[in-house]
Structure 1
Amino acid sequence: ISDIYWCSPPGNGWACGVSCADLKDSDITDDVKCVRTIFEEHQRLSGDGFNAWSVYKPYCQGKSESFTRGCFGSDDDQPVTAALPKPAITAPTRIPPRKTASSRGKVYNRCELARELYFQHHYSYEDAAMWTCIAQYQSNYNTAAVGTGAGDVRYHGMFQLSDEYWCS
């Protein structure tokens, strides 16, 4: 995710309203939110939001289903969520610690990412497969990855979001 357009120096926000440091920690919630913003903008501009990622056409378009094969059990075409009963009494939850610039990143494995995208971030099975493919080729599933581009542009996180547009 480029820091020129999508993330910004602390406090600026740019298009995704997120700091680039937050894109490099182990929590991909803000990454997914930014990815959706970028996808929607490129969908509007080109008719295919995945075109925002250069790895999409050569590596993922028409080939992504293999990135979730074996991740959802014996029938990968229809992943099923086990229905668990809710407890009668819910224990209070503790407030999670505030993220800091020093928060550690995480390297996902293929199926772990696919399942998180599907179950926690509510992507369709097909879209979870596509984003798993993109993450493989962008960062090898590493949330702390930082790439470089022309000039001073840096790309942050698992989906390599540009600091030129998206984060600060």
Structure 2
Amino acid sequence: MSYADHPAAGERIILNTAERVTDYDLERFGGIHFHNLGGEPMFVGSAVFTHDDGRIKSVHPCKIGPHLHPHVCSVAYGGEEISHRGRYDLLVINDEKMEWVPTGHGRVPEGRIPVDGGHEEDGKKLFHARARLHNHNNVGVPGKTGHHLGSAHVSFGGEEIEVREHYDIL
């Protein structure tokens, strides 16, 4: 494990799906902010996608949990829940400096600075989102949002779920 700190992105712990991590490891660094329907902890992070030569292609906000299979990092992408392989960064959520703020339609609330969650391949910015899934016992799921998306996108049950209104941005 190594550390990366960029003010707009928050403090992050650099991990790789090739390394085994436990709930305890993740809780120690990132704190538990979510639980799945089974009560298992989930964490907030960003999945790093690379070209074959190792250059970064895109970085997408994701959910992290040792219980996620086949890998511990899951991304909402292309209508699916993608199990990410490779580098991912666990976001250390600092409750004194960060908060979840209600929003919708890809907007950043006035006077707020969102935590940078990554970027699309074309450079469009992505931010961390939290959506409550009303069809699934109101479980909160970490995901992504951006001006160009016009909504929050979360991975759940093998799908990418889009929530246009009533979600939160970090």
Shorter-chain-normalised TM-score: which range?
under 0.3
Which protein, 1 or 2, shows the higher relative CO under an 8 Å CA cutoff with sep ≥ 6? 1
TM-score where L is the length of structure 2: 0.26
Higher normalized helix content (fraction of residues):
1
Looking at CA atoms only, which structure, 1 or 2, has the larger radius of gyration?
1
Higher normalized strand content (fraction of residues):
2
